[in-house]
Chains A and B, each alone.
Chain A
Amino acid sequence: MEDMIEIRWHGRGGQGAKTASQLLADAAFMSGKYVQSFPEYGPERSGAPITAYNRISDERCPIHSNIYDPDYVAVVDETLLESVDVTAGLSEKGAIIINSSKEPEEFKPLLKGYNGRVCTIDARAISIAYLGKYFPNTPMLAAVVEVSGCVDKEQFLKDMESSYRHKFAKKPQLVEGNLQCLRAAMKEVRG
């Protein structure tokens, strides 16, 4: 399937990489796409490296294996770069998006010769600024949409707004903060 985009998420158990992949699937689903979001479970313990995946396409994808040659990689925890080969199989036409306050150039030497685009997003700062707490998934989701273009950006923001209005029906004050968080992350992703 030529139109398909494959994304691999790296995180630690409890940080929400699986949830982030589900949120991306939700966003892509709302924009009319076919989606897959699935976790890969190793030893289930808090803090252990975990992997989650997305396939996004215009037709239903019959493949149900893990993803070995992703178009994009999202790293929720930058300390994983020491222990996990996060760029394994990553397309040089794609990009890696790392949750960090550092500049992309600082990561290039750590990425085992990966020559594609390297992006960083300070999910902590953005999350704390707009949500008051550290929820890395919301800025990470926005950064992945911004960098990959896997979902139309205008459509994404519109769909997320209606999703938040539904989700926070009893706490409408949270809608604007979440939307600002998404917009800020899309603007502030570097690289």
Chain B
Amino acid sequence: MSIRERLSGNEAIATAMRQINPDVFAMFPITPSTEIPQYFAQYVADGKVDTEFICVESEHSSLSACLGAEAAGCRAVTATSSAGLSFMNEVLYVAASSRLPVVLAVACRALTGPININHDYSDSMAERDSGFIQIYAENNQEVYDNYLQAHRIAEHPDVRLPLMICEDGFITSHAIENIELEEDETVKKFVGEYHPENYLLKEENPLAVGPYGISAYYMEARVAQAHAMMNAKKVILDVAADFEKTFGRKYGLIEEYRMDDAEIAMVIMGSSAGTAKACVDMLRKNGVKAGLVKVRVFRPFPGEEIAKAIANCKAVAVMDKSEGFSACGGPLYAETCGACYNLKNRPLMVDIVFGLGGRDFTVDSAKTVFDRLATIAETGETGEIYTHMGQRER
């Protein structure tokens, strides 16, 4: 039986962590993720978990401590944001290449500068090549549900990769909304215990973690890691199917919203997808065939699924909430274009960089995008392909 509650995204994550009761939580605070270890510290103090809660001196150390724990065969978690994630950069790669399935909650926030505490995806997008699986949420319910699925995906023998559970800083992390929580026991049963096949101090078969990989071995390790990421797609879907069977809420790699006969569509992530859905509903009432593809999983990238979803559209706007400074579009656009290149009939596609550093994205903002798409669909002309939205002229 689900429990009707109202929680912020941060408390939803902390609640999921409490229910899972990980072996180790190594923490270093940074806005807007700080509440996650803050709530969790209370659970530790109240004896609701028996997690080893380690306060360390930096994010580089918090993830390093998680790596140590994971290498020893423990289930380890942490949380961070923005510069904290950047400071983990080196260790993220170590976690992924050592195939240690740590689960990292990220309350996504802009990177400096100018210094800014608000939401965009500059932090998580900068780590898209780190080898972490990345799952994004539209709201507190999704971030909770994603977290309940995280360990099973990361720890699966075909995957064994670390995983980021991404929520939108402040917009999701600090907004209180209704949520359906699940019973502690049902969650524990769904997530299961972690018994890795091999670990550092396994008596009968001790394991070396992080050895030097000379040229004769490095590439094999990297290819194996690439295959693990490819395998993750199926595992994510399998875990989602079991999640739906157990809890009734359905998840995929992407969510197609009113796409069946859509002529114009957005490809978008996170909380903005919800706002854009409200706009799609409004346009549909006026007879406009608008739709939306929400990218839930960014790593592994669901290229085929996105391409299939938008193949029959006339015009598509890819909405990037991070500026990759490639001078020709953001990361979501580049990958979506790449995924569509081999389609026989491709939609016309533009990139819109928006919402940087917390710049608000409203139903009206979404309407502006769909209006532009309608013009592109009608004239067959994209105009400027790579543009920014919502900034002042001067």
A residues whose Cβ falls under 8 Å from a Cβ of B: 1, 22, 25-26, 29, 34-39, 41, 44, 60-66, 68
A62 and B176 contact, CB distance less than 8 A: no
B171 and A39 contact, CB distance less than 8 A: no
**In the complex, which residues of chain B have a beta carbon less than 8 angstroms from the beta carbon of A44?**
117
A60 and B178 contact, CB distance less than 8 A: yes
B residues whose Cβ falls under 8 Å from a Cβ of A: 6, 117-118, 138-139, 168, 170-172, 174-178, 271-272, 274-275, 277-278, 360-363, 365
Distance (Å) between the CB of B81 and the closest chain A CB? 13
Complex Cα spacing A38 to B139, Å: 13
State the 9 A-B residue pairs at the shortest beta-carbon distance, nearest first: A62-B274, A38-B175, A64-B271, A65-B362, A37-B176, A29-B6, A62-B277, A63-B278, A63-B275
Q: From B6, B117, B175, give the contact of A64 (CB < 8 A).
A: B175
21 A-B interface contacts by CB (under 8 A): A22-B176, A29-B178, A34-B178, A35-B176, A35-B178, A38-B171, A38-B175, A60-B177, A60-B178, A61-B278, A62-B277, A63-B275, A63-B278, A63-B362, A63-B363, A64-B139, A64-B175, A64-B274, A65-B361, A65-B365, A66-B362
- Chain A residue nearest in CB terms to B173: A38
Complex Cα spacing A137 to B138, Å: 30
B6 and A35 contact, CB distance less than 8 A: yes
**In the complex, which residues of chain A have a beta carbon less than 8 angstroms from the beta carbon of B178?**
29, 34-35, 60
- Chain A residue nearest in CB terms to B178: A34
**In the complex, which residues of chain A have a beta carbon less than 8 angstroms from the beta carbon of B138?**
62
**In the complex, which residues of chain B have a beta carbon less than 8 angstroms from the beta carbon of A25?**
6, 176
- Chain B residue nearest in CB terms to A18: B174
A37 and B363 contact, CB distance less than 8 A: no
Complex Cα spacing A36 to B179, Å: 11
Complex Cα spacing A37 to B172, Å: 11
Q: From B170, B275, B277, B360, give the contact of A41 (CB < 8 A).
A: B170
**In the complex, which residues of chain B have a beta carbon less than 8 angstroms from the beta carbon of A64?**
139, 168, 171-172, 175, 271-272, 274-275
Q: From B175, B360, B362, B363, give the contact of A36 (CB < 8 A).
A: B175
13 further A-B contacts with Cβ under 8 Å, apart from A1-B278, A62-B274, A64-B172, are A26-B6, A29-B6, A35-B178, A36-B175, A38-B170, A38-B176, A41-B118, A44-B117, A61-B278, A62-B138, A63-B363, A64-B175, A64-B274
B278 and A62 contact, CB distance less than 8 A: yes
B6 and A38 contact, CB distance less than 8 A: no
Complex Cα spacing A36 to B172, Å: 10
Distance (Å) between the CB of A51 and the closest chain B CB? 12
**In the complex, which residues of chain B have a beta carbon less than 8 angstroms from the beta carbon of A22?**
176
B271 and A41 contact, CB distance less than 8 A: no
Distance (Å) between the CB of A91 and the closest chain B CB? 16
A65 and B176 contact, CB distance less than 8 A: no
Complex Cα spacing A60 to B298, Å: 25
**In the complex, which residues of chain B have a beta carbon less than 8 angstroms from the beta carbon of A38?**
170-171, 174-176
B363 and A41 contact, CB distance less than 8 A: no
Q: From A1, A34, A63, give the contact of B274 (CB < 8 A).
A: A63
Max chain B C-beta neighbours (<10 A), residue from A26, A63, A64, A66: A64
**In the complex, which residues of chain A have a beta carbon less than 8 angstroms from the beta carbon of B363?**
63, 65
Complex Cα spacing A62 to B273, Å: 8
**In the complex, which residues of chain A have a beta carbon less than 8 angstroms from the beta carbon of B175?**
36-38, 64
A39 and B174 contact, CB distance less than 8 A: yes
Distance (Å) between the CB of A10 and the closest chain B CB? 17
Distance (Å) between the CB of A17 and the closest chain B CB? 14
- Chain A residue nearest in CB terms to B365: A65
A65 and B275 contact, CB distance less than 8 A: yes
